[in-house]
Amino acid sequence: MDIVSLKNSVNQKKTKKQEDEKEINCLEKIKEQEQVFEKNDILFEQKKKEIKHTPRVIVLDIDYELQGDKKSCKLTSKVMDSSARQKYDRLLATLSAGLTFNQLPIETQNRYTSLARIMSQCIDAPDWLLEACAEDLEFAYGLTVRLVEHEVKFFRNDSAYGNETERKPRFQIGATALEN
Protein backbone atom coordinates (compact mmCIF):
# COMPACT_ATOMS: atom_id res chain seq x y z
CA MET A 1 0.00 0.00 0.00
CA ASP A 2 1.20 3.42 -0.93
CA ILE A 3 1.26 5.64 2.15
CA VAL A 4 1.37 8.84 0.14
CA SER A 5 -1.68 7.98 -1.90
CA LEU A 6 -3.50 6.83 1.25
CA LYS A 7 -2.65 10.13 2.94
CA ASN A 8 -3.80 12.05 -0.12
CA SER A 9 -7.08 10.15 -0.31
CA VAL A 10 -7.72 10.76 3.41
CA ASN A 11 -6.87 14.45 2.96
CA GLN A 12 -9.21 14.62 -0.03
CA LYS A 13 -11.96 13.00 2.02
CA LYS A 14 -11.27 15.43 4.87
CA THR A 15 -11.23 18.35 2.47
CA LYS A 16 -14.45 17.17 0.86
CA LYS A 17 -16.01 16.65 4.29
CA GLN A 18 -14.78 20.10 5.44
CA GLU A 19 -16.17 21.73 2.30
CA ASP A 20 -19.50 20.00 2.87
CA GLU A 21 -19.51 21.18 6.50
CA LYS A 22 -18.64 24.74 5.43
CA GLU A 23 -21.46 24.66 2.89
CA ILE A 24 -23.88 23.36 5.52
CA ASN A 25 -22.70 26.06 7.97
CA CYS A 26 -23.15 28.72 5.29
CA LEU A 27 -26.65 27.45 4.50
CA GLU A 28 -27.52 27.46 8.21
CA LYS A 29 -26.21 31.02 8.58
CA ILE A 30 -28.21 32.11 5.55
CA LYS A 31 -31.35 30.53 7.00
CA GLU A 32 -30.71 32.27 10.34
CA GLN A 33 -30.27 35.60 8.56
CA GLU A 34 -33.46 35.02 6.57
CA GLN A 35 -35.32 34.37 9.81
CA VAL A 36 -33.94 37.60 11.27
CA PHE A 37 -35.00 39.49 8.15
CA GLU A 38 -38.47 37.94 8.28
CA LYS A 39 -38.83 38.92 11.95
CA ASN A 40 -37.69 42.45 11.12
CA ASP A 41 -40.19 42.63 8.25
CA ILE A 42 -42.99 41.49 10.56
CA LEU A 43 -41.99 44.04 13.21
CA PHE A 44 -41.77 46.75 10.55
CA GLU A 45 -45.27 45.93 9.27
CA GLN A 46 -46.63 45.95 12.83
CA LYS A 47 -45.01 49.31 13.50
CA LYS A 48 -46.55 50.74 10.32
CA LYS A 49 -49.97 49.80 11.66
CA GLU A 50 -49.42 51.52 15.01
CA ILE A 51 -51.03 54.91 15.28
CA LYS A 52 -48.74 57.74 16.24
CA HIS A 53 -50.42 60.30 18.43
CA THR A 54 -49.11 63.83 18.20
CA PRO A 55 -48.99 65.33 21.70
CA ARG A 56 -51.04 68.42 22.58
CA VAL A 57 -47.86 70.20 23.69
CA ILE A 58 -44.67 70.25 21.62
CA VAL A 59 -41.54 72.38 21.57
CA LEU A 60 -40.42 74.20 18.44
CA ASP A 61 -36.83 75.34 17.90
CA ILE A 62 -36.92 78.91 16.63
CA ASP A 63 -33.96 80.66 15.01
CA TYR A 64 -34.45 84.18 13.70
CA GLU A 65 -32.02 86.64 12.19
CA LEU A 66 -32.68 90.16 11.00
CA GLN A 67 -29.86 92.38 9.78
CA GLY A 68 -27.20 90.44 11.68
CA ASP A 69 -29.21 90.31 14.91
CA LYS A 70 -29.63 86.61 15.75
CA LYS A 71 -32.23 85.36 18.19
CA SER A 72 -33.29 81.86 19.12
CA CYS A 73 -35.59 80.17 21.59
CA LYS A 74 -37.50 77.04 22.39
CA LEU A 75 -41.16 77.86 21.80
CA THR A 76 -43.88 75.72 23.36
CA SER A 77 -46.94 75.13 21.20
CA LYS A 78 -50.10 73.86 22.86
CA VAL A 79 -53.05 72.95 20.68
CA MET A 80 -55.79 75.34 21.67
CA ASP A 81 -58.48 74.17 24.05
CA SER A 82 -61.78 76.01 24.50
CA SER A 83 -60.37 78.78 26.69
CA ALA A 84 -57.46 79.37 24.29
CA ARG A 85 -59.95 79.57 21.41
CA GLN A 86 -61.91 82.19 23.32
CA LYS A 87 -58.67 84.11 23.85
CA TYR A 88 -58.03 83.79 20.09
CA ASP A 89 -61.48 85.26 19.31
CA ARG A 90 -60.99 88.13 21.80
CA LEU A 91 -57.60 88.91 20.27
CA LEU A 92 -59.13 89.06 16.79
CA ALA A 93 -61.77 91.47 18.10
CA THR A 94 -59.14 93.58 19.87
CA LEU A 95 -56.86 93.68 16.82
CA SER A 96 -59.82 94.71 14.66
CA ALA A 97 -60.33 97.73 16.96
CA GLY A 98 -64.11 97.67 16.68
CA LEU A 99 -64.20 97.26 12.91
CA THR A 100 -66.04 94.35 11.34
CA PHE A 101 -63.38 91.70 10.76
CA ASN A 102 -64.75 90.62 7.37
CA GLN A 103 -64.61 94.20 6.08
CA LEU A 104 -60.90 94.52 6.77
CA PRO A 105 -58.53 94.02 3.82
CA ILE A 106 -57.68 90.34 3.32
CA GLU A 107 -53.98 91.00 4.09
CA THR A 108 -54.99 92.54 7.41
CA GLN A 109 -57.30 89.62 8.20
CA ASN A 110 -54.46 87.19 7.49
CA ARG A 111 -52.02 89.15 9.65
CA TYR A 112 -54.46 89.42 12.56
CA THR A 113 -55.39 85.75 12.30
CA SER A 114 -51.72 84.79 12.35
CA LEU A 115 -50.89 87.03 15.31
CA ALA A 116 -53.92 85.87 17.29
CA ARG A 117 -52.94 82.22 16.74
CA ILE A 118 -49.35 82.84 17.80
CA MET A 119 -50.45 84.65 20.96
CA SER A 120 -53.08 81.99 21.80
CA GLN A 121 -51.27 78.78 20.91
CA CYS A 122 -47.73 79.63 22.06
CA ILE A 123 -47.04 79.39 25.76
CA ASP A 124 -44.82 82.14 27.17
CA ALA A 125 -43.58 83.40 23.80
CA PRO A 126 -40.68 85.81 24.32
CA ASP A 127 -41.35 89.48 23.63
CA TRP A 128 -38.80 89.62 20.80
CA LEU A 129 -40.67 86.82 18.98
CA LEU A 130 -44.03 88.59 19.23
CA GLU A 131 -42.48 91.85 18.06
CA ALA A 132 -40.77 90.09 15.15
CA CYS A 133 -44.05 88.45 14.14
CA ALA A 134 -45.82 91.81 14.24
CA GLU A 135 -43.20 93.31 11.90
CA ASP A 136 -42.05 90.39 9.72
CA LEU A 137 -45.04 88.84 7.97
CA GLU A 138 -43.03 86.04 6.38
CA PHE A 139 -41.79 84.96 9.81
CA ALA A 140 -45.29 85.26 11.30
CA TYR A 141 -46.83 83.21 8.48
CA GLY A 142 -44.06 80.59 8.66
CA LEU A 143 -44.62 80.15 12.38
CA THR A 144 -48.38 80.06 11.90
CA VAL A 145 -48.02 77.27 9.33
CA ARG A 146 -46.12 75.19 11.91
CA LEU A 147 -48.71 75.89 14.60
CA VAL A 148 -51.59 74.91 12.30
CA GLU A 149 -49.65 71.79 11.26
CA HIS A 150 -49.31 70.85 14.94
CA GLU A 151 -53.05 71.31 15.48
CA VAL A 152 -54.00 69.31 12.39
CA LYS A 153 -51.69 66.42 13.32
CA PHE A 154 -52.96 66.43 16.91
CA PHE A 155 -56.55 65.91 15.80
CA ARG A 156 -55.75 63.61 12.88
CA ASN A 157 -53.57 61.05 14.76
CA ASP A 158 -51.20 60.35 11.89
CA SER A 159 -49.78 56.96 11.19
CA ALA A 160 -46.05 56.85 11.81
CA TYR A 161 -45.40 55.92 8.17
CA GLY A 162 -47.80 58.08 6.20
CA ASN A 163 -50.89 56.98 4.34
CA GLU A 164 -50.00 53.29 4.07
CA THR A 165 -52.38 52.28 6.83
CA GLU A 166 -56.11 52.73 6.81
CA ARG A 167 -57.29 55.57 9.00
CA LYS A 168 -60.25 55.15 11.25
CA PRO A 169 -62.63 58.09 11.37
CA ARG A 170 -62.09 60.28 14.40
CA PHE A 171 -65.83 60.64 14.94
CA GLN A 172 -69.18 59.58 13.54
CA ILE A 173 -72.44 61.44 13.67
CA GLY A 174 -75.47 59.30 12.99
CA ALA A 175 -79.04 60.44 12.63
CA THR A 176 -81.42 57.64 11.74
CA ALA A 177 -84.27 60.15 11.37
CA LEU A 178 -82.41 61.75 8.45
CA GLU A 179 -81.67 58.52 6.61
CA ASN A 180 -84.02 57.39 3.81
Given a cut of 70, whether residue 25 has pLDDT beyond it is yes
Whole-structure pTM value? 0.65
Q: With 50 as the cut, is the pLDDT of residue 133 above it? A: yes
Q: If you average pLDDT over every residue of the chain, what do you get? A: 84
Phi-psi region of 110 (alpha: psi -120 to 50; beta: other; left: phi over 0): alpha
Domain ranges of the chain: 8-41, 76-156
Query: Is it the case that residue 180 has pLDDT exceeding 70?
Result: no
Q: What is the pLDDT of residues 72-88, one digit of tens each?
A: 999 999 999 999 999 99
Query: Looking at this protein, which amino acid is placed at residue 124?
Result: D
At 60 the pLDDT is 96
Whether the per-residue pLDDT at 44 is higher than 60: the answer is yes
| Average pLDDT of the segment spanning 108-122 | 97
What kind and span of H or E run contains 149? helix 137-156
Is it the case that residue 97 has pLDDT exceeding 80?
yes
User: From the centroid of its chain, how far is CA 48?
Assistant: 13
* Cα-to-chain-centroid distance, residue 79: 15
User: Helix 106-121 crosses helix 137-156 at what angle (to 10 degrees)?
Assistant: 60
Question: H-type helices in 50-136, by residue range?
Answer: 82-96, 106-121, 127-135
Q: Give me the phi and psi of 167, to 5 degrees please.
A: -90, 140
* Out of 13-22, 70-79, 124-133, 159-168, least confident range: 159-168
**What 8-state DSSP symbol labels residue 51?**
B
State what percent of residues in the chain have pLDDT above 70: 77
Q: What is the mean pLDDT of residues 116-132?
A: 96
